[in-house]
Each structure stands twice: as C-alpha cells, then as structure tokens.
Amino acid sequence: MEQNKIPQATAKRLPLYYRFLNNLQSQGKTRVSSKELSEAVKVDSATIRRDFSYFGALGKKGYGYNVEYLLGFFRKTLDQDELTEVALIGVGNLGTAFLKYNFMKNNNTKIVMAFDADEEKANTEMGGVPIYSIDDLEEKINGVKVAILTIPASEADGITDRLVRNGIGGILNFTPARITVPDHVRVHHIDLAVELQALVYFLKHYPLVEQ
C-alpha cells in the first residue's frame, strides 16, 4: 500500500496536523513554519519537518510551508474526500456521548448506525443515527469496515467475533477487555481508566520537569 515506510508515530500525528492546518486556513493564514506549527500542536519542530519529509519536499527553505498547498496534500493523503462509515456498538453512557457528537468536525468519518441489546433503545434513533437491535447486526452492518465498541467488557469477545465474521477491518475498543482478533483486523484500545491511572502514576513517581 503505497508509502508504507511511514512510521506509525508519524501516521498518528497526521490527523492532528491536518486539523490545525484547517484552523490556520480559516484564519486566513497563507504560510506557516515548522516552528509555529510546533508551538501550536506541541510537537518538536524537527519532528514535524521529519514527518512532512516522508511525503517529499513540501516546504520551501527560508519560507516555510504554504498552508493551502499543505492542506490540499494532506486532504488527499488522509483520504478526507472519502467518507468512512462507522458502526457504534453499545449505546450506553459513552456510546451516547459519541452518537451525539458524531465527530462532526471531521468530514471523513461518520457513525452511520448503532446497535444495542436493550430492546427499549432498539429501533429508535439518536443524533440522526438509527439504533438497531444487536440481533440485527448481521443483517444491517454490510459494508461497514470500522466499529466503535462501547459495550460491557463481558460482551466484548462475543461481539468482536460477530463483527469479524461480518467483515469488519478495524475496531476502536473502549472496553477494558483485550480482545482477540485475526491478523487482518486492526484494533486500537482506548482504555480510559488506564489512562487516568497512568497519569496519576506519572504525577507521583516522575520528576516534575518534562512532560
């Protein structure tokens, strides 16, 4: 798949750059230096230059980067023109928050359907997104490649298997369960409790200077 030499660490920063460049453009700025960008997104300027350089020479020495050009480049690279449909599984506390928000600010991902085991929630809608019964998963989910998991941990393995059998390629897992998937499925864990505990640990055990 084209330039797969790009480090994962870099790939994770791309959406961040993209969003900030959008802000710049709507502020009417036409040029930006790696130093300015650095201050805004809190990433070292050398890292930014290195990140950009994986895609070729996007800037001009002595000048910086042209916002319009850079933005256009990233739009293509991040496939911002192509909408990725997402299914959300579990319309509880977290799921509800995501549905209401629905990542509106980004134009390339959209939650298009949700599922819940609770029959009271099934066949309603929220934030314009239809909520189906989890029993209808196989029937409805055709073609959706990305799922957000916000169900109880105990349900995670079972639902994951069903998702995988139905062609899901990527899962954003908010469950504390560490799910098992075949090699061709990618899982990103976001474990909010762990994040909070890790922050507390760092505060107590790490020297205060550096972040």
Ligand X SMILES: NC(=O)c1ccc[n+]([C@@H]2O[C@H](COP(=O)([O-])OP(=O)(O)OC[C@H]3O[C@@H](n4cnc5c(N)ncnc54)[C@H](O)[C@@H]3O)[C@@H](O)[C@H]2O)c1
Partner DNA sequence: TTGAATATGTGAAACTAATCACGACATTTC
Partner DNA sequence: GAAATGTCGTGATTAGTTTCACATATTCAA
How far apart (Å, rounded) are the C-alpha atoms in residues 98 and 106? 13
- CA distances to 11, 55, 110, 137 from 86, in Å: 20, 28, 6, 13
Q: Which stretch binds a copy of itself (CB under 8 A): 55-63, 95-103, 113-121, 130-138?
A: 95-103
Contacts of 69 (CB under 8 A, 6+ apart): 58
Q: Does 97 bind ligand X (CB under 6 A)?
A: yes
30 lies in the binding site for DNA (CB under 7 A): no
- Taking CB under 8 A as the criterion, the residue among 33, 84, 133, 166 binding a copy of itself is 84
- Pick from 191, 194, 161: nearest CA to 173: 191
Q: Are strands 65-66 and 124-126 parallel, antiparallel or unpaired?
A: unpaired
Binding string, 166-205, against ligand X, x = CB under 6 A? --------xxx---------------xx------------
Write out the two tokens for 153: 């941990």
Distance (Å) of CA 79 to CA 106, 118, 119, 182, 188: 12, 35, 37, 26, 20
155 near ligand X (CB under 6 A)? yes
Q: Looking only at residues 99 through 118 of this chain, which bind DNA when binding is defined by CB under 7 A?
A: none
Residue whose CB is less far from ligand X, 47 or 133: 133
Among 151, 163, 168, 171, binds ligand X (CB under 6 A): 151
User: By CB under 7 A, is residue 77 in contact with DNA?
Assistant: no
CB 159 within 8 Å of CB 135: no
Residue 133: strand pairing partners:
116
Please report whether residue 109 would count as binding a copy of itself according to CB under 8 A: yes
Which residue, 41 or 58, has its beta carbon nearer to a copy of itself?
41
Binding region for a copy of itself (CB under 8 A): 1-4, 6, 8, 11-12, 14-16, 18-19, 40-42, 78-79, 84, 86, 93-94, 96-98, 100-101, 103, 105-106, 108-109, 145-146, 148, 169-170, 172, 176, 178, 180-181, 183-188, 190-211
